[in-house]
Structure 1
Amino acid sequence: MGTHWIDEGCINCGACAEVCPVDAISEQGDVHVIDKETCTDCGSCDSVCPVDVINWETTV
């Protein structure tokens, strides 16, 4: 299991939110954020981010 998060540098394009199968990503102000409680760590958002600001950290 792990945790995804969106780093600073998000350009608020919404590409990540469009591909999230569980609607864990939403717009908050000028950026998008990932709800860690809803995220299933599927990784769908990783490859669509045009500025590569979605990060992953493995937790045990």
Structure 2
Amino acid sequence: MESTRVDRWLWAVRLTKTRPDAATCYLDRAPVGPVAAAPVAVRDRGTGRPTKRDRRALDKWRETGRG
């Protein structure tokens, strides 16, 4: 697969008139801050897929953050 820069691609598909305009369109303006880590559920190895009951408990645990 051939890689290409985003500003060149934006210019090539004519979303902008010039490549410098394309480069300014691609600037990341997302706020930079700490990312909250999602809680991780631990299951015993080899237990297989969770049952419906286990799945509901996992969903509830994820919603509250603890369980």
TM superposition score normalised by structure 2: 0.23
Asked which structure has the greater CA Rg, the reply is 2
The higher-RCO structure (CA 8 Å, 6+ apart) is 1
TM superposition score normalised by structure 1: 0.25
Higher helix share: 2
